[in-house]
A = this chain, B = another copy of it.
């Protein structure tokens, strides 16, 4: 079944709808997937979805998967995640596993420091097959 996060109460209507759609989905959704799910709730234009997604991503309630041009709800119930987040995306079933790794984060930080590079955000995405799908293949 899908996630069952609580939706923060200070979201706007559209933000709440979009986050709800993400929470109830098994896997990542494109902005247009979301739009289709929410037409019944009065959403009509891509921009309504993109604007809500921008805010949600900004607040860390949702994440953008760059390699998929799609979005997922943050897997962390109360969104305590601060640092770098990595995603493992299964090409078989589409499920996404979200995790953090302090060593990797530190390592990237070291590299950046050595180069004088000022990091603003990092995307890390692993594509492959989850255990279930790998065994089924």
A interface residue numbers (CB < 8 A to B): 66-67, 86, 88, 90-91, 97, 99, 101, 103-104, 107-108, 111-112, 115-131, 134-135
Contact = CB atoms under 8 A, between A and B. Distances in A.
A125 B112 CA distance: 12
A107 B86 CA distance: 12
Contacts of A99: 111
A118 B132 CA distance: 10
A126 B131 contact: no
A126 to B, nearest CB: 5
Given A66-B67, A108-B104, A126-B108, A118 B134 contact: yes
A126 B101 contact: no
A116 B88 CA distance: 11
Contact of A131 (B91, B103, B117, B120): B117
